[in-house]
Structure 1
Amino acid sequence: MKYLSRFLLLYTFLLFVSCNQDDESPNGNETEPVGVTEPEGYQQYGVPFNDIPANEDIVMYEVNLRAFSNGGDLQGVINKLDHIESLGVNVIWLMPIYPQGQLRSVGSPYSVRDYKAVSTEYGDLEDLRRLTTLAHQREIAVILDWVANHTSWDNEWIRNNSDWYTKDANGIIIHPAGTNWQDVADLNYENEDMRDAMIDAMKYWIYEANIDGFRCDYADGVPADFWSQAWQEVRSIPNRDLILFAEGDRSDHFDAGFDLSFGWDFYSGLKNVYSGQPASNLIQVATIEYTSVPTGKEVVRFTTNHDESAWDATTVSIFGGIDGALSAQAVTVFMGGVPLIYGSQEVGQLSTVPFFSNSSIDWNQNPTMLESYKKMMTFYSNSPTARKGTNTVYNDIDVIMFKKSLNGDEVILIANTRNSSRTITIPAALDNTTWTDIMTNTSITFNGQLVLRPFEFYILD
């Protein structure tokens, strides 16, 4: 017994030393806890990120890997983490990283051939692990784009489990009904085995790459009861706080467990106002959009994203130039909701940005615009009033003006939505008050009226 006691004492000491070593190596790689195999059979990589921002505090940044760097890979994102951090970002959304289908392919990364692999086009699992580790060190979460509605035609699921797919009357697997997406095969959510495999694949990335949630592509195409099942299971993973973001406008997404949904109505309203509709229309749209959003959930608002910048036009084209794009961004960020930046818009990308093919962003274009983004987003991310304040709106046909108030602190946003000068009358409650313009760090005192240059905006503290 004496020798056994000594052995147990030595074992306890070595275990204590091992557990108290640094979790991270000098090159940013997290160590895998020795012997920790989860019930699903996956090995927990690193330490779960415990600083996930509250929904109302999220500042999201979308990365199109094929455009983000010359290499079009995960290393390109790692190389620009300082840039992303400088914009006040606390959540990175990576567009699909999985191997792309080759059969009937049109080049879309949303045609997934393997749900449990990193495409060699982008790197490997170790690259993704290094990215999540280094992002977490900067207090930034990482979420993956998840494609649950369909797979590529050469996904192994088709070869091994054809009943996991929707079939026509002749027993032939079909592409998603009501779409022209001929490059993908529609999944059958009446099949329980397929549902279990889908949830298992989500868990794989949470365990093996330490990711922090999912942006779910075409969430409207997947039954709400599946989302409820999936989110109940993934949220049961110990020591995890996940971000779940639906691409869709179905009313049941929040009830199913999603935290965030896209603000399509706001985006349409923003474009309409900058095209000449009364500025007050956007206030109405923004208010209505939140009427069905439960407390604690949020709408993601944007001036562009990968779809808009690829198939429509970039912000510089849509909003009448760099000044218009900045004005629209200021309105979008400060009016309410979760602001989204699509990598490229902060440098005033003029040409469309494809994601079915590679096309590198010129990060040196429009450095003055980038500095404006940094000032705007840094203030927003550091100001509870800017993020969570209650809006007091001052209506005008051409100018958007509102005051945000929280615990006695106030922030004002004024933005000319027209490509011509406008003069507004200062509301009596604000007249003869002095503020600091955070974009120029200069003082401004209201005195009766304010003349705004084309697309001029103020963020006042």
Structure 2
Amino acid sequence: MNALKSKLKLSAILLSCLSVMLIVSCSKSNGGGGGSTTPVKTVTSSGDPAQYGTPYNNVPNTQDMVIYEVNINTYTPATFSGAMARLDSIKALGVNVIWLMPTYPIGVLKSVGSPYCVMNYTGVNSQFGTLADLQAYVAAAHSLGMAVIMDWEANDTSWDNPWITANPSWYVQNSSGQIQQLSSYTDVAALNFNNQNMRLAMIKDMKYWIFAANIDGYRCDDADNAPADFWTQALDTLNNIKTHKLIYLAEGTTSGEISSGFQLDYAFSYYSSIKSLFAGSTSVSSLFATNTSEIASISASGTKLRYITNHDDASSDGSTITEYNGKQGALAAFAMVAYMGGVPLIYDSQEVGYPSAINFFNVVPVDYTANPDMVAAYKKILAFRAAHAAVKIGALTQYPDANIAAFEKTSGTDDVLILVNTKNSSETFTVPAALQNTTWINGFTGANITFSTQYTLPAYAYVALHR
């Protein structure tokens, strides 16, 4: 769910029949719901479940991550076991982090079917399977060398979440004491971040899955809508679990989220810019400007999640085949996402070129045997990224061209050059003097390329070179 876009709302949150004793140092502030309070550090708590399995010790560093978003509703059957059958294929793409979309029970009262309308924060959606099935899925991913992060909705709950009746003060209320919905979203009730007990219960439930299912962190939905000091409080507490190296991805855009402890947030502007570029309504130079400004907008400790689609966009904007003018256009766009900067994301179905929009409220079976040529291309794109530190952390030099995105990245002795034709027609790159008479190795074919003064690329072609 993205609060910055007008899309289908997905919301949710929590349950806990908590018999909880929390040892904390707390300071409450008065006032209306949703506001910020003085940060409270939750240091220790009692009642955490026993650790399931062995904590995964190969969680990748941020710069090395390739994330795959799993929407279980695209699998046949749409269950944890059905999703587990796809793990080998996902790993083969070059993925090392799985992001599981919400697996919690979905509220019924006032519900529109959103998986982000969470009725029980520590429950499992029975349509997908049981806790044991989820544990088995995480264990299987770990065995293949992939970390697993779960989705978290921190802003609201379903109207039939037990918190509603047990703890009404944990919600935003009007002057008559009526619990309020979140913004314009009728399916969820807004939580009150001025209530410290609510905060502590939520953090307790976030800890639950790290122990109970051995997960490796969270993607936090609509993170801009929760106070930054809550995220500091929550992530500081989770970081006290010294047995786990945890990943934190914010669906948000503010530098405050990185300061609060997230390693990644969303590249909303980059997505808009690359879509506009392939639609012919903006320029290559504009994409580079967006790349620079987005990265500069956050501290050096964080980076951006880059994508050509995700569950929101596949629902509202349609298939990547439509957005980027065919299979080759989608691959060209992804090559830029993978190589220009940040951490790349693949959403279920994009690697097989699913041709239609996917409403993630529904079961939408995808044929994962389709378009094996696209799957092979994704593997090559990501293999080149994995092989070159320059792609992941190198300094970027842009070579201006009206139609071809051309840039070089260097890190130490590693030197790569990326050329992407952003047009659905053959285009000729005027080779700058600095590149003339230089020889490179094609990272996909192994062939040598020596530049003269011009280099022609077919429609939506892309090359990744190194020397």
Paired residues of 2:417 and 2:464 also in contact (CA < 8 A): yes
Match of 1:193 among 189, 197, 217: 197
Following TM superposition, the consecutive aligned residue runs of length 4 or more in structure 1 with deviations greater than 4 angstroms are none
2-structure distance, mates of 1:64, 1:159: 31
Residues 49-105 of structure 1, C-alpha deviations (whole Å, 9 max, x = no match): 1221111111111011111x1111211221111111111111100000000001111
The code of the aligned residue for 1:108 comes to S
The aligned residue for residue 87 of structure 1 is: 93
The code of the aligned residue for 2:250 comes to A
The aligned residue for residue 132 of structure 2 is: 126
Paired residues of 2:306 and 2:343 also in contact (CA < 8 A): yes
Matched residue of 2:255: which SS? coil
Paired residues of 1:323 and 1:455 also in contact (CA < 8 A): yes
Residues 260-319 of structure 1, C-alpha deviations (whole Å, 9 max, x = no match): 100001111111222222211111110011113222311101000000001112211111
1-structure distance, mates of 2:316, 2:388: 34
1-structure distance, mates of 2:314, 2:79: 20
Q: Determine if the alignment matches structure 1 residue 247 to structure 2 residue 254.
A: no
Q: How does 1:269-288 map to 2 (within 5 A)?
A: 269-276=273-280, 277-288=282-293
RMSD: 1.3
Q: Determine if the alignment matches structure 1 residue 451 to structure 2 residue 456.
A: yes
With normalisation by structure 1, the TM-score equals 0.89
Paired residues of 1:43 and 1:208 also in contact (CA < 8 A): yes
Structure 1 stretch displaced more, 123-132 or 299-308: 123-132
Please state how far the C-alpha of 1:250 moved relative to its aligned partner.
2.6
The aligned residue for residue 53 of structure 1 is: 60
The aligned residue for residue 224 of structure 2 is: 220
Structure 2, unmatched stretches of 5+, are 1-44
Paired residues of 1:263 and 1:289 also in contact (CA < 8 A): yes
The aligned residue for residue 230 of structure 1 is: 234
Match of 2:83 among 77, 88, 94: 77
Q: How does 1:40-189 map to 2 (within 5 A)?
A: 40-67=47-74, 69-177=75-183, 180-189=184-193
The aligned residue for residue 307 of structure 2 is: 302
Number of residue pairs matched by the alignment: 421
Paired residues of 1:86 and 1:378 also in contact (CA < 8 A): no
Matched residue of 1:109: which SS? coil
With normalisation by structure 2, the TM-score equals 0.88
Structure 1 stretch displaced more, 272-281 or 317-326: 272-281
The aligned residue for residue 426 of structure 2 is: 421
1-structure distance, mates of 2:412, 2:242: 35
Please state how far the C-alpha of 1:208 moved relative to its aligned partner.
0.8
Paired residues of 1:55 and 1:296 also in contact (CA < 8 A): no
The code of the aligned residue for 2:441 comes to T
2-structure distance, mates of 1:373, 1:283: 23
The aligned residue for residue 342 of structure 1 is: 347
Q: Which has the higher contact order (CA 8 A, sep 6+)?
A: 2
The aligned residue for residue 375 of structure 2 is: 370
Paired residues of 1:249 and 1:261 also in contact (CA < 8 A): yes
2-structure distance, mates of 1:182, 1:381: 44
The aligned residue for residue 9 of structure 1 is: none
Residue identity over aligned pairs, in percent, reads 43
Matched residue of 1:232: which SS? helix
2-structure distance, mates of 1:41, 1:300: 31
Q: How does 1:307-386 map to 2 (within 5 A)?
A: 307-386=312-391
- From the CA coordinates, give the structure whose radius of gyration is larger: 1
Please state how far the C-alpha of 1:42 moved relative to its aligned partner.
1.3
1-structure distance, mates of 2:120, 2:323: 36
Matched residue of 2:124: which SS? coil
Please state how far the C-alpha of 1:437 moved relative to its aligned partner.
2.2
Matched residue of 1:185: which SS? strand
Matched residue of 2:273: which SS? helix
Paired residues of 2:254 and 2:298 also in contact (CA < 8 A): no
2-structure distance, mates of 1:352, 1:287: 31
Please state how far the C-alpha of 1:444 moved relative to its aligned partner.
2.3
